[in-house]
Amino acid sequence: MSNDKELDDAYAYFRWLTDNPKLPKEALLACYELSQHQTALFVTTLPDFDIVPSNLFKRIIESLEHKNWAEVMDLVEKAKSWPLMAQQNG
């Protein structure tokens, strides 16, 4: 049986962080783009097949916590190119 609580908690915290009224519009719009690139935001663990936040998603959350808007936008760009990076490295 899969346990996605860690990922659910990460998404809830991410949503809370992006509700910050001080979040610059550019960073907020970049975060909205992540909805189209969700496969970059989680990984499946073995042997239980739990779905957990990816290191990239954790870094985006940390950047939001530290109000490092430029890094947030850079990491979102990395998430958007995730399938291409995987193909190049595969």
Question: 40 — alpha (psi -120 to 50), left (phi > 0) or beta?
Answer: alpha
pTM for this model (two decimals): 0.81
Which long-range contacts (C-beta less than 8 Å, at least 24 apart) are formed by 65-72? 65/17, 67/22, 69/23, 69/24, 69/26, 69/27, 72/27, 72/30, 72/31
Q: Give the start-to-end residue ranges of the domains of the chain.
A: 5-83
- Grade residue 47 by pLDDT with cuts at 50, 70 and 90: confident
**pLDDT tens track for 7-26:** 899 999 999 999 999 999 99
Identify residue 90 by its one-letter amino acid code: G
Taking residues 17-40, report their average pLDDT: 91
49-85, pLDDT tens digit by residue? 888 999 999 999 999 999 999 999 999 999 988 765 5
